[in-house]
């Protein structure tokens, strides 16, 4: 059986200092060392299975802060991960603004909010209740992750990949 091939652009966007580079490094290289990652495209190859179909996937990760440059980078993204630092209350309102912009743009991307730096939970100022408001307002899922300890990173990526696969095969079925 021949495998399907897909390339998905995943944009990680959020305020400065919210752990975007470390998150990409954890996903792609299984390391929390983000040295030299800024403004580059990081690539991860995966072999996936979806309902008996083999899928060769290239995941292209790009990071950006909010702003004009971000709009260009996220356009055409298959998934957008908006990051907030759990130890910085202001970062959540910035993520809310990012998601507002995506709502206005009618983006069809898979979108999630991620609370980073879960390993610093004793310094946290953001909690489930804060992210549940975002979840309701924007119709998205949220995850709390630690790039340092790899806590919940795999669960977050499993959700994103499952959503991308569902959309890929739904589109294929519709176009058939």
pLDDT at 59: 95
pLDDT at 70: 67
Torsion angle, alpha carbons of 164, 94, 125, 25, to 10: 50
45-57: pLDDT as tens digits: 999 999 999 999 9
Alpha helical stretches, state H, the chain: 20-29, 68-74, 89-105, 128-138, 153-175
Higher pLDDT pick, 87 / 3: 87
pLDDT beyond 70 at 29: yes
pLDDT at 68: 57
pLDDT at 1: 65
Higher pLDDT pick, 160 / 37: 160
Q: Strands 4-13 and 141-144: what pairing?
A: unpaired
pLDDT at 147: 95
59-102: pLDDT as tens digits: 999 888 766 566 777 788 999 999 999 999 999 999 999 999 88
- CA pair distance 23, 25, nearest whole angstrom: 5
* pTM, to two decimals: 0.93
Structural domains of the chain sorted by starting position, each given as residue range(s) with its CATH number in brackets? 4-175 (3.40.50.300)
CB 83 within 8 A of CB 19: yes
pLDDT at 123: 97
The DSSP symbol for 132 reads: H
121-160: pLDDT as tens digits: 999 999 999 999 999 999 999 999 999 999 999 999 999 9
End-to-end CA distance of the chain: 19
pLDDT at 106: 80
The DSSP symbol for 118 reads: G
């Amino acid at each position: 059986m021949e495998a399907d091939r897909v390339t998905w652009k995943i944009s990680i966007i959020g305020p400065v200092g919210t752990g975007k580079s470390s998150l990409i490094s954890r996903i792609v290289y299984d390391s929390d060392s983000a040295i030299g990652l800024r403004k580059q495209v990081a690539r991860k190859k995966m072999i996936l299975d979806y309902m008996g179909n083999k899928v060769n996937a290239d995941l292209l990760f790009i990071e950006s802060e909010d702003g004009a440059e971000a709009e260009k980078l996220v356009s055409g993204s298959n998934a957008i991960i908006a990051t907030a630092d759990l130890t910085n209350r202001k970062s959540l309102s910035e993520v809310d603004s990012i998601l507002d912009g995506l709502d206005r743009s009618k983006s069809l991307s898979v979108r999630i909010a991620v609370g980073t730096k879960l390993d610093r939970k004793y310094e946290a100022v953001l909690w489930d209740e804060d992210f549940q408001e975002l979840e309701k307002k924007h119709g998205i899922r949220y995850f709390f992750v630690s790039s340092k300890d790899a806590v919940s990173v795999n669960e977050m990526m499993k959700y994103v990949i499952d959503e991308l696969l569902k959309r890929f095969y739904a589109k294929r079925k519709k176009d058939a």
